[in-house]
Structure 1
Amino acid sequence: MKIIAFAATNHSKSINRQLVEYSASLLKNVQVEILDLNDYELPLYGQDKEEEIGHPQLAKDFLAKIAGSCGILIAFAEHNGSYTVAYKNIFDWCSRIEPKVFQNKPMVLLSTSPGSMGGTSVLATAVQSAPYFSGVVKASLAIPSFYDNFDSEKKILKHAELNEQLQDAVSHLDHLK
């Protein structure tokens, strides 16, 4: 069984990347491949660009990663209350190739931010929209005040109650068939 995991951002030092890597480490019964959106950098999506170049191979490759997985773990960074451009762009390209982007895969959706809301706006958008693109959301969780609750040196969530909630959320991906 294979899970793909990624932070929905292209920031190399993303706190959501730290969160998704830690969350992936909690999975014991599956193989996890952590993707980096920087490896799927595409031209800005637009209909004119699509007509000009067709469907880029990197978008097809990203969809193949989803197809080859048993489940998906995503940590969403929030930019101005919504998705990052890096995530939205690859998502838009992929949805033009396969409208059912998430291909009926079980998903756990996370978010975090330095603030007390933990990226809840983008997480709510992701949870609400995933089913329209054949995503089966099994759990979601926002981690507030990242720098207060996560030890970046030890790479652990140090807030016991949040850690328990995170373990419960990701456990939905630990026994997939």
Structure 2
Amino acid sequence: MKVLAFAASSSKNSINKQLANYAAKQIKDAQVELLDINDYEMPLFSEDREKELGQPALAKAFYEKLGDADVIVISFAEHNGSYTAAYKNLFDWTSRIDMKLFQNKPVIMLATSPGPGGAATVLAAAQGSAPYFAADVKAAISVPSFYDNFDLENGQLTDKALTDKIADAISQL
């Protein structure tokens, strides 16, 4: 099983990337590819730029990565209650190739933050819009207070209730 995991964040030290990687590695017999969205940086999307540039090769490459995966694990960072600008831009360009950009793949949606909110606002937005973009969401899990619930040294969640939620999500694949 091919699992594509990534953080919807451009941070080099993304806690969401750590969470996505952890969750993906819990899937037995999976070949995990941890993607960095910084590798897909493009000009800010606008209709004018789209007319000028067409569909950028990086957007096409990202779309193909999604299509090649059997499962997608995304962990959303939250900036001011919404998507990060880097993810939103990549999402906007890719959705112009095909609005059904998740291609009916099973998706586990995660989100975390250092605070108690666990980026739940952006997670709710992502989950709410997922059907319009052909994401078969198997679970949406918010991890609050990341540094209290994740062992950075061992790369693992430490809270049993949260590890159980991840295990339950994986069992639905």
The 3-state SS of whatever aligns with 1:3 is strand
Equivalent residue for 2:98? 98
Q: Distance in 2 between matches of 1:53 and 1:82?
A: 27
* Preserved CA contact (<8 Å) 1:20 1:73: yes
1:1-177 equivalence runs, <5 A = 1-173=1-173
1:29 to partner: Cα distance: 2.5
* Preserved CA contact (<8 Å) 1:108 1:172: no
User: Per chain length, whose mean CA-contact separation is higher, i.e. which structure has more relative contact order (CA < 8 Å, sep 6+)?
Assistant: 1
Q: 1:31 to 1:172 in 2, by over 3 A?
A: farther
The alignment of Structure 1 onto Structure 2 pairs a total of residues equal to: 173
Q: Distance in 2 between matches of 1:14 and 1:172?
A: 26
Render the CA deviation track for 1:40-62: whole Å, top value 9, x for unaligned.
Answer: 11111011111111110000000
Which runs of 4 or more aligned residues in structure 1 lie more than 4 Å from their structure 2 counterparts after TM superposition?
A: none
Q: Distance in 2 between matches of 1:146 and 1:80?
A: 18
Q: How large is the RMSD of aligned CA atoms in angstroms?
A: 1.0
Structure 2, gaps ≥5 residues long: none
1:171 to partner: Cα distance: 3.1
Identity of aligned residues (%): 55
1:93 maps to a residue whose letter is: W
Q: Distance in 2 between matches of 1:121 and 1:31?
A: 30
Of the structure 1 ranges 28-37 and 12-21, higher mean CA displacement relative to structure 2 is found in: 28-37
